Amino acid sequence: MDKSEAIRRIEELRKVLRDNSYKYYVLNAPTMSDYEFDQTMKALEALEAEFPDLVTPDSPTRKVGSDLDRGFAQYPHRYPMLSLGNTYSIQEVEAFAQRADKALESGFTYCCELKFDGTAICLNYVDGKLFRALTRGDGVVGDDVTANVRMISNIPQTLKGSGWPRDFEIRGEVLMPFEAFERLNAEREEIGEAPFANPRNAASGSLKLLNPQEVAHRGLWCTLYHIPSQSVSYETHDAALSAAASWGLPVSDLRRICHGISEIEDYIGYWDVHRKDLPYATDGIVIKINEMALQTTLGFTAKSPRWAVAYKFQAEQALTKVVSIDYQVGRTGAVTPVANLEPVPLSGTVVKRATLNNKDWMDQLDVRVGDSVYVEKGGEIIPKITSVELSARPSDSVKPHFPDTCPDCGSALVKEEDEARWFCPNQDGCPTQIKGRLEHFLSRKAMNVIAGEATVNQMYNLGLVLTPADFYDLDARSLMLLENWKEKSVKRFLESLEASKSTPFEKVLYALGIRFVGESTAKELAQHFGDVDSIANASLEDLRAVGDVGDVIAASVYEYFRDSRHLAMIERLRAHGLRFSTAGPQSKASDALAGLTIVISGNFSISRDDMKAVIEANGGKNSSSVSGKTSFLLAGEKAGPEKLRKCEELGVRVVSEKEFLEMIPSREQAPAEVKEPTLFDL
């Protein structure tokens, strides 16, 4: 390659890396896999090594990616917060060990640790109290996210024990456990927002929320793995982490001291298999020189320490074909493209479909029907298409046309300036949206009426229901029109409908299906305003004053109650006896759990939601994560190992389901989930 070609190629690679670094660190929506990004970086490094006079200080090979956000105050790091050199090759790990042997004359050990897949954080403690928390930023300056970090339950505000330095830094990763990730994505899909692709993106996005109370709801977790040698005076990295753990800091106990490359390879091989058993995402192993003095001897490159390297696991991929692309309309009107795939086994399951998120993402990927595509599981959970095998693209392939109109009702789609998705605006006339809201209204977390998609479809197609209020006008004669329904199924449905009238106001508000209003936001609104009339009459400023409510949610709620059709429907529901205020008799069984904060984990004889209802009905408070304020962990079968470990660390009591039920005056459990009637029930 001549120099002019090298200049062109270097600029091309730098642009790709900068664009994808911005998407990864700032937008939390990468379109390039980690492996592709790292290989592109290696290609740039190789070219710059061949043409050193073309190296510039602002090259991605010389700077860490930046996640700086103008919405936060920024402070300089006391010591540069660099990134690690990455490799996917055991041979390169062996080369790292050989370089260490050659450079270091004295005997030394390695400390091997899991590489946690989250977002980097630097905590500063002064006089034993959390003083400041900074993101990595650009490595020199970081965003001040202290208020948000204080909402992460396993980060102590005050250290325990003794021996900690008066003023020191400790660094690590903010994670989102799989359980919290699945819950968050379910909530986002419920209110029409795009789900996060993986826990790393979710953790990074959550840490940068402007509302600390919403951060508390996200279930973030932290693990710490590095104290800069200038901050402490321990001989080894391992000793420094052990001391940090004794001060109450969340340090992983899964690290291992290794004495040579064979032990390092054993550690890598073990966790490449067993990482799937962990409750959070890991994407590799970090190998560090353990002795602090030798770390100082080896020093740093422009962007990485020479005394550490990260071995990254290859994400499990599969190659399959795109059979077709559907455009699905959600109950909030969001149109989502979904690729239907030739079934392919991947990470223990058979993958048949993969979301394409939105039009922009689909265009960037340039995926077409008939393409051979690589599929992997983001964070080992959600199938996603990472790239197209262009060499196998059919010669007659055609770029898919994202619809201009709603696939269901034909209305012209709209896209707001700050939205990534296109929406059907015909919310009260689009059949898919109408049926979606009806199903949502009856769902277990809303009104908990025994009916599902099949029943709603029948009722809608027969013209029996168009709005939730229509359900309460149904009688036995009209229900007998439904296919395969007889007296027994009619009786069960009407009894379930009658029972729903005692549903608390917060759940009724959630059941209305207001865009962006999930369970937690509905609860906040209900508690803040007390009744639906106060919410309907609230100004935008009044709505923004509620804990979980920002500009977008406030505008959505405000507009919902400006629609006369919605107000008329609410009046009909109120006339049928539904609860639209927090006043009135409360379904409280006892005060047996009053003042207790309880975390639940595992599987029980009833659903987890029902178990939470039992706790609240007896005066207790549910919490999503274990902390010093937790009264006890209610542990069912297959309770999360991380929660159990945290209980042991903090001395929090672990209670079985049997012991828990003995605490409650009445042994009656919440009703088991009622399912849609089948032909066998009719």
Checking 579-583 for CB contacts under 8 A at 24+ apart, the result is 579/501, 579/502, 579/503, 579/504, 579/505, 579/508, 580/505, 580/508, 580/531, 580/532, 580/533, 581/505, 581/530, 581/531, 581/532, 582/504, 582/505, 582/506, 582/526, 582/527, 582/530, 582/531, 583/530, 583/531
Q: Is 189 left (phi over 0), alpha (psi -120 to 50) or beta?
A: alpha
- 400-433 residues labelled b (16+ CB within 10 A) or e (exposed): bebbeebebbebebeeeeeebbbbbebbeebbbb
Place of tokens 């936060």: 72
Identified catalytic residue from 3, 15, 63, 115: 115
Q: Cα–Cα distance between 112 and 97 in angstroms, integer?
A: 12
Tokens of 192: 């029409």
Active site residue 646: no
Q: Where are the alpha helices (DSSP H) in 530-607?
A: 532-536, 540-544, 551-560, 564-575
Q: Cα–Cα distance between 116 and 271 in angstroms, integer?
A: 12
What is the signed CA dihedral for 222, 629, 183, 550, rounded to 10 degrees? -90
Q: Cα–Cα distance between 41 and 32 in angstroms, integer?
A: 12
What Cα–Cα distance (Å) separates residue 113 from each residue in 226, 241, 255, 258, 626?
11, 11, 4, 10, 24
Residues annotated catalytic, as ranges: 115
